Amino acid sequence: MTKSVPGTVDGAGKHAGDVVGAIPRAEYGRLAVLTTAMPLAVLATNWYLPPGWNLVGTMAVLTGFLLVLGKAISGVPLALLISERNLMSLSRFQALVWTVVVMGGYLTMTLTRVKTGGQSAVGVTIPQELWIAMGISTTSLLGTPLVLGGKRARSPDEKLVQNTSVQLAEPTTDIDAHRQGVLYANPDMTDARVADMFQGDEVGNTAHIDLAKVQMFYFTLIAAMGYFMEVAKAVLGGATDKMPEVSEGMLALLAISHGGYLLGKAGDHSNSKPT
């Protein structure tokens, strides 16, 4: 929904004062309730569920909050995974997965210490290796638009546009109308699909599977699931003074997969030329 001019009435008869930016004023009340209910739900989960289940419950609450937030603001539950090109983003996915796992574990340990009367509720130590793992994840999230930025000022080869048109069964006029430079884009957020996370970014390779993305997807799942099990083991054992460490081998795998992911984006896959 576009921003209306103050004091005017739109075609539906609603005053423009009912709209601020892209969010109707009616949604602000729901968002206020949502942001209040989420910490209360996390507190109740950790207070009443047994060890282990409190971790699962906390992560479920955090995930549910993100889904409802996306629906309230953008009209799409998975909005936080969708990039500015209206495509599902792998870098956003891995960042959110790590956020839910690490934040869920930290909250669970903190609230468990509150419940058991620990000396310092926020005295949960975060090891250096975990900071590095989160930094690698954030680098991919922030580095992706930087790597792709220059490609918005270039144009793809017309033959590759035609090839992609045939492979995707999409008119070339639609591809040209929505692409951003050589970068493929969807017209609307509702067009985003999970398959986007495994396809190339450019018009020239969007109909093909990007192996660097597949690799990073699997490494992200393996690392996140492994770390979740370590956190669950610590919570079940009552060790809530320190978040588990990430092994050097896992850090190396994450660094390699994320590096390959970013390098894969840097190449020219559309025989592009300056606009």
- Percent of the chain at pLDDT > 70 equals 88
Mean pLDDT of the chain: 87
Instruction: Tell me which of 72 and 269 has the higher pLDDT.
Output: 269
- Give the tens place of pLDDT for each residue, 95-141: 999 999 999 999 999 999 988 886 677 789 999 999 999 999 999 99
Position 134 scores a pLDDT of 92
- Give the tens place of pLDDT for each residue, 54-73: 999 999 999 999 998 888 88
Name the pTM for this structure.
0.85
Position 196 scores a pLDDT of 96
14-28, 122-136, 198-212, 214-228: lowest mean pLDDT where? 14-28
Tell me the residue length of the chain: 275
pLDDT at 190 over 60: yes
Position 136 scores a pLDDT of 92
Position 54 scores a pLDDT of 95
- Give the tens place of pLDDT for each residue, 144-174: 999 999 999 999 999 999 999 999 999 999 9
Position 119 scores a pLDDT of 66
Place of tokens 């090891």: 127
Position 9 scores a pLDDT of 39
DSSP the chain: -PPPPTT-B-TTS-BGGGEETTEEHHHHHHHHHHHHHHHHHHHHHHHHSPTTHHHHHHHHHHHHHHHHHHHHHHS-TTGGGB-TTSSB-HHHHHHHHHHHHHHHHHHHHHHHHHHHT-S-TT--B--HHHHHHHHHHHHHHHHHHHHHHGGGGEE--HHHHHHHHHHHT--HHHHHHH-BTTB---SSGGG--GGGGGB-SBTTTTTSB-HHHHHHHHHHHHHHHHHHHHHHHHHHTT--SBPPPPPHHHHHHHHHHHHHHHHHHHS--S--EE-
Comparing C-alpha atoms, which of 112, 52, 75 is closest to residue 232? Answer: 52
- Give the tens place of pLDDT for each residue, 217-245: 999 999 999 999 999 999 999 899 999 99
pLDDT at 2 over 80: no
Tokens of 250: 């896992």
Position 24 scores a pLDDT of 59
Position 22 scores a pLDDT of 53
Split at pLDDT 50, 70, 90, the class of 25 is low
